[in-house]
């Protein structure tokens, strides 16, 4: 397979890199362009930080540290990528942190002025990155395209959180990336399908079209019953494609006790690692906040070093939680870790997953946890969003 692009999106702090990354990936998704956004900066942000209210972002964001361990794990993920990557990097990289740029192939530079742009040109040249675009960000000046070939140059307007950019400049950049990704990765889904560890491979995008009575760009909690009915239960599954954490959790339980694999852009096909509930889990790479309620428990996981390597996760200790009660699981963790927690804590009366962003664009940003599995006698039903407070 040809070397897949890994495009660093670089620029000084507060230039709008995260908003640009979010707007760009949303546009590429609507065009069906296979790729993945790798957050190579431990600032606790992701798509969710552009999709919920500002006050909620301040509560949920956890800013980690650029430790040597974090940098090493990011570099490992970059080296083993299975999809083209957009890499959201930090705004003040040290020489040690610049190792991340050595693992990238291209760059998109974003800066507020020529002085800052020159600094990042030098950095890109130092790491032999092919610069695809130089964009100047402004909140006051209008958009403009200065040049399209051999380098896309222009001024992009309005990179403000919660306002995804829609512009000719962004559309042109997306078209360039689509062309680049297409040249490097012809029919990646078919190729990954041949490597799947099970006979039944579930393409989540295709399944969404098949089960939704009212078509939508996004999965909705109400789609869960139809999705589960669409697939055989207790059967090995391999899940491929983009979907919310609660969808992955529900399908993992649906396959239980058979294995349920998932495709990770950094790892390829993986199975959730085995986790060990224990009354007194030792200090390790995972930290947990446990809220015990009268009728349920709420457990949130947090990766201490901002990045947990899959190879480090097998047989990690996790808190023991009473099986007689319902359970809400949450936390900014990868899907493979969430599904591992789901397997460790199932069965029980019901299990729900908390996702900070609303599952539908028009829904409240404080939408409740989504029930992904429930016993016949449970008080909740699969696909229901329950009105439960986090604390």
Tens digits of per-residue pLDDT, 254-280?
999 999 999 998 889 999 999 989 888
Give the per-residue pLDDT at 53: 46
Give the per-residue pLDDT at 152: 96
Q: Which residues pair with 327 in a beta bridge?
A: 297, 351
Distance between CA atoms of residues 287 and 302, nearest Å: 5
Using an 8 Å Cβ cutoff, are 109 and 133 in contact? Answer: yes
Give the per-residue pLDDT at 34: 87
Nearest CA among 7, 170, 149 for reference residue 81:
7
Give the per-residue pLDDT at 312: 83
Give the per-residue pLDDT at 314: 84
Which pairing describes strands 106-111 and 85-88: parallel, antiparallel, or unpaired? unpaired
Q: Which of 53-57, 136-140, 308-312 has the lowest mean pLDDT?
A: 53-57
* Cα-based torsion angle of the residue sequence 97, 58, 313, 382 in order, rounded to the nearest 10 degrees: -140
Q: Which of 11-20, 45-54, 127-136 has the lowest mean pLDDT?
A: 45-54
Nearest CA among 190, 250, 200 for reference residue 382:
250
Q: Model confidence at 101, in pLDDT bands (50, 70, 90)?
A: very high
Percent of the chain whose pLDDT exceeds 90: 57
What pLDDT, in 10s, does the model give residues 350-384? 999 998 754 443 444 446 899 999 999 999 999 99
Look at residue 295 and tell me whether its pLDDT is greater than 60.
Answer: yes
Can you tell me which residue has the tokens 């590429």? 28
Task: State mean pLDDT over 14-26.
Answer: 91
Give the per-residue pLDDT at 46: 45
- Is residue 370 classed as helix, strand or coil in its secondary structure? strand
Task: State mean pLDDT over 125-146.
Answer: 94
Give the per-residue pLDDT at 309: 84
The pTM of the full predicted model, rounded to 2 decimals, is 0.80
Give the per-residue pLDDT at 307: 76
Helix (H) or strand (E) holding 100: helix 99-102
Using an 8 Å Cβ cutoff, are 266 and 77 in contact? Answer: yes
* Residues 6+ positions from 29 with CB-CB distance below 8 Å: 242
Distance between CA atoms of residues 14 and 276, nearest Å: 41
Give the per-residue pLDDT at 345: 96
Task: State mean pLDDT over 43-68.
Answer: 46
Q: Which of 117-121, 163-167, 285-289, 319-323 has the lowest mean pLDDT?
A: 163-167
Q: Which of 69-73, 84-88, 321-325 has the lowest mean pLDDT?
A: 69-73
Q: Model confidence at 251, in pLDDT bands (50, 70, 90)?
A: very high
Q: Which of 137-146, 238-247, 358-367 has the lowest mean pLDDT?
A: 358-367
Look at residue 23 and tell me whether its pLDDT is greater than 80.
Answer: yes
Task: State mean pLDDT over 76-93.
Answer: 88
Look at residue 135 and tell me whether its pLDDT is greater than 60.
Answer: yes
Give the per-residue pLDDT at 52: 39
Task: State mean pLDDT over 55-81.
Answer: 67
User: Around 214, how many Cα atoms within 13 Å sit in the side-chain half-sphere?
Assistant: 4
Give the per-residue pLDDT at 311: 84
Q: Which residues of 223-250 are buried (b: 16+ CB within 10 A; e: fewer)?
A: bbeebbeeeeeeeebbbbbebbbbbbbb
Q: Where are the chain's structural domains?
A: 6-186, 190-374
How far separated are the first and last CA of the chain, in Å rounded?
Answer: 48
What pLDDT, in 10s, does the model give residues 158-213? 888 766 677 899 999 999 999 998 866 667 888 899 999 999 999 999 999 999 98
Q: Which residues pair with 136 in a beta bridge?
A: 111, 155
Give the per-residue pLDDT at 228: 97
Give the per-residue pLDDT at 119: 95
Per-residue CA distances from 39 to 78, 85, 261, 300 (Å) = 11, 10, 23, 21
- Rounded to the nearest integer, the mean pLDDT of the chain is 86
Q: Which CATH class is domain 6-186?
A: alpha beta
Nearest CA among 69, 118, 104, 88 for reference residue 19:
88
Look at residue 320 and tell me whether its pLDDT is greater than 90.
Answer: yes
Distance between CA atoms of residues 102 and 373, nearest Å: 44
């Amino acid at each position: 397979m040809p070397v897949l692009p890994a495009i660093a999106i670089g620029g000084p702090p507060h230039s709008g890199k995260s908003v640009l990354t979010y707007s760009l990936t949303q546009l590429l998704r609507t065009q069906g362009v296979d790729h993945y956004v790798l957050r190579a900066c431990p600032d606790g942000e992701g798509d969710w930080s552009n999709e919920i209210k500002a006050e909620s972002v301040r509560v949920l964001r956890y800013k980690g540290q650029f430790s040597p361990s974090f940098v090493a794990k990011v570099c490992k993920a970059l080296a083993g990528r299975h999809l083209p990557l957009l890499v959201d990097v930090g705004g003040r990289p040290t020489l040690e942190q610049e190792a991340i740029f050595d693992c990238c192939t291209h760059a998109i530079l974003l800066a507020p002025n020529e002085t800052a742009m020159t600094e990042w040109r030098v950095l890109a040249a130092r790491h032999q990155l092919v610069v695809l675009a130089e964009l100047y960000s402004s909140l006051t000046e209008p958009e403009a395209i200065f040049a399209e070939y051999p380098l896309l140059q222009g001024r992009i307007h309005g990179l403000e959180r919660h306002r995804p950019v829609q512009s000719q400049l962004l559309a042109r950049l997306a078209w360039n990336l689509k062309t680049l990704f297409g040249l490097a990765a012809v029919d990646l889904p078919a190729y990954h399908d041949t490597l799947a560890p099970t006979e039944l491979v579930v393409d989540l995008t295709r399944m969404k079209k098949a089960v939704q009575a009212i078509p939508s760009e996004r999965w909705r909690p109400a789609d869960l019953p139809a999705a589960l009915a669409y697939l055989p239960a207790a059967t090995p599954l391999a899940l491929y494609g983009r979907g919310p954490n609660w969808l992955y959790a529900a399908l993992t339980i649906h396959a239980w006790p058979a294995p349920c694999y998932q495709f990770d852009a950094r790892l390829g096909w993986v199975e959730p690692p085995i986790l060990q509930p224990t009354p007194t889990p030792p200090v390790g790479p995972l930290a947990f906040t446990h809220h015990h309620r009268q009728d349920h428990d709420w457990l949130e996981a947090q990766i201490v070093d901002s990045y947990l390597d899959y190879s480090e996760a097998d047989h990690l200790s996790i808190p023991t939680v009473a099986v007689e009660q319902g359970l809400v699981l949450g936390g900014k963790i990868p899907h493979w870790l969430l599904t591992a927690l789901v397997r460790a804590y199932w069965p029980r009366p019901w299990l729900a997953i908390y996702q900070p962003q609303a599952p539908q664009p028009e829904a409240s940003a404080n939408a409740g946890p989504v029930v992904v599995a429930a016993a016949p006698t449970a008080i909740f039903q699969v696909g229901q969003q329950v009105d439960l407070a986090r604390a």
